[in-house]
Structure 1
């Protein structure tokens, strides 16, 4: 069985971002970039399934600029076998990404498509679901455990009322939650090996996918600064402030 893992190049989660001067988006100049953390969890789970003998090959795919090859090499250093970069310089909406991934799925015919549940930049949590719909595959989102047995995958997912367990037939789409696993570190030997692993670059035109603009960003602004807290001397003073100043009581 092949496992396909889409990954996205995002700003490193430990880097503080700033809004561009023209308010068109986030200023990415000279910022450290990394694999989206949820995508990294998905890569780790795919590699673990391969190590258990439940998968024959792990393929990572990314849709983005040429420099996204760096994140694909990192994924291969974590254990993926090969990579595909769909080169595209503009930021795409989730539906457009799903259309591109559907074309990759048609080409590669994976048994399991393993997503991170969302990206830390857009926070849309839409691409996995849209891809499953376009590819006509069963789906299970927010997976905290994944167990593949034969032609089925069993997924435990956290919901408000507890743990929901789903069993779906392969091929299927699954999105990984934070508690699924803890990704490993890429060792130096594996980083060197990743440089020799195959990385295929294709374009959207090569996949014969027609993309449209589904949304426009009007303006991006920084959140308003929070004012400092106030120390109160008694419960009565707290209640008075909640009533008359905050007006929440």
Structure 2
């Protein structure tokens, strides 16, 4: 038995290979003229949904991104990877869009799209919040499985068996559907979007809406005071003996 639909999050972030620069006024980081791409954890979520569809465990994959017009680029990538259609929630002040606001948007889209499963990356590499999936589960009162290492759908289509990455190793849990699942790094290896699939993606539907049209208040709850780069690491030193090392750890570093 297959699931009807999965809703998958695709956040647009500064590419992981870009060196982040803080704005001169310390109000945030420089984003103008900087390469952006899909959040790597969300790529895993898209890949897993597409694999479920290819395995006849899922009928439709709907990808969602909240942000400025540039967010459509990551949606096109997801469509080229194999998603069926996309929803762009247009919002220009993406730096003020907090996890709770995103969770509220997804909760509203869940009401409209009635998916059996929501797949999200466990965190975004820009804010590292790791909150949206958990908040969405709470808002929907759905089961949740975070840090997914492996996902299996039961034959009756009523529950998932999820292997989770935890500090002590791996944990296996069963969750009833519908459910919210967040993906971890070793879940799969995302595919590259091929040129033929990129061309096909242009014909796939992409709906654009706004938080206002969805009736969702995404006003920020937090105030950003200042952004600063981490202090530069000081140069290390060489010691001549173990006794000298212990002395410096004890009397200078004061960690012993």
TM norm. shorter chain > 0.5: yes
Show the 5 A alignment for 1:62-101.
62-91=65-94, 92-101=97-106
Show the 5 A alignment for 1:81-230.
81-91=84-94, 92-149=97-154, 150-230=157-237
Q: Which residue of 2 aligns with 1:18?
A: 21
Cα distance in structure 2, aligned partners of 1:39 and 1:73: 14
TM superposition shift of 1:213: 2.3
Please, what TM-score do these two structures have when normalized by structure 1? 0.98
SS of equivalent to 1:56 = strand
TM superposition shift of 1:242: 0.9
Structure 1 unpaired stretches of 5+ = none
SS of equivalent to 2:103 = helix
Q: CA RMSD in A?
A: 0.9
Please give the per-residue CA displacement for 1:176-206, whole angstroms capped at 9, x wherever unaligned.
0111011111111111111111111011121
Cα distance in structure 1, aligned partners of 2:217 and 2:255: 50
Please give the per-residue CA displacement for 1:95-116, whole angstroms capped at 9, x wherever unaligned.
1111111011100000110010
Please give the per-residue CA displacement for 1:204-233, whole angstroms capped at 9, x wherever unaligned.
121111233211111000000001111112
Show the 5 A alignment for 1:12-51.
12-51=15-54
Structure 2 unpaired stretches of 5+ = none
Cα distance in structure 2, aligned partners of 1:88 and 1:68: 10
Cα distance in structure 2, aligned partners of 1:57 and 1:232: 62
TM superposition shift of 1:159: 1.6
Cα distance in structure 2, aligned partners of 1:76 and 1:211: 26
Please give the per-residue CA displacement for 1:150-193, whole angstroms capped at 9, x wherever unaligned.
21111010222332111111111000011101111111111111
Q: How many residues align?
A: 249
Q: Which residue of 2 aligns with 1:2?
A: 5
SS of equivalent to 2:197 = helix
Divergent runs of 4+, >3 A: none
Residue 244 of structure 2: which of 220, 237, 240 is its match? 237
Is the contact between residue 7 and residue 117 of structure 2 (CA under 8 Å) also seen in structure 1?
yes
Please, what TM-score do these two structures have when normalized by structure 2? 0.95
SS of equivalent to 1:164 = strand
